């Protein structure tokens, strides 16, 4: 990678490349930098930064090849690998953190568990 990071997400894209989003830098600060890995050339390159500095977020590739990223307690964004741009994902703010994201067969994403209002183990499912 071009930048050392931890607590980031790495998502395989439809074309074989890999998207790395955010994380913590070597000093433990959240970062917004994003990178693409191309296995054909074995190289990393930069791509559009995420809209906020984020770590411990979740990511899932959607059926159309875009990537949904949900940062803790913030509004989700979608990365389009064709345009290399980020856009809002409905403008909703999910009041969860450390949840799981799973892509369903019909293209919806289910968000389950995590912490709500600072308490873990709260029941809840968001679609």
Go through the domains of the chain in sequence order and give each one's CATH number. 9-126 (2.120.10.80)
Average pLDDT over residues 74-100: 81
Own/partner pairs, 90-94, CB within 8 angstroms, 24+ separation? 94/70, 94/126
Q: State the pLDDT confidence band at 117, using cuts at 50, 70 and 90.
A: low
Residue 23 has pLDDT above 90, yes or no: yes
Structure tokens belonging to residue 107: 């293209």
Residue 104 is classified by DSSP as: -
Q: Inform me whether the pLDDT recorded for 69 exceeds 60.
A: yes
pLDDT at 95: 64
Mean per-residue pLDDT over the chain, rounded: 87
Residue with tokens 């450390």: 98
Q: Over range 93-122, report the average pLDDT.
A: 73
Residue-level pLDDT at 89: 83
pTM above 0.75, yes or no: yes
């Amino acid at each position: 990678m071009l930048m050392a990071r931890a607590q980031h997400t790495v998502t395989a894209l439809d074309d074989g490349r890999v998207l790395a989003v955010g994380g913590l830098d070597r000093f433990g600060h959240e970062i917004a930098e994003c990178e693409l890995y191309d296995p054909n050339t074995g190289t990393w390159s930069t791509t559009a930064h995420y809209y906020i500095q984020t770590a411990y977020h979740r990511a899932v590739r959607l059926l159309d090849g875009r990537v949904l990223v949900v940062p803790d307690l913030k509004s989700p964004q979608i990365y389009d690998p064709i345009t290399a741009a980020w856009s809002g994902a409905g403008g909703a703010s999910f009041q969860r953190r450390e949840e799981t994201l799973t892509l369903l067969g019909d293209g919806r994403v289910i968000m389950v568990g995590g912490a709500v209002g600072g308490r873990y183990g709260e029941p809840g499912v968001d679609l």
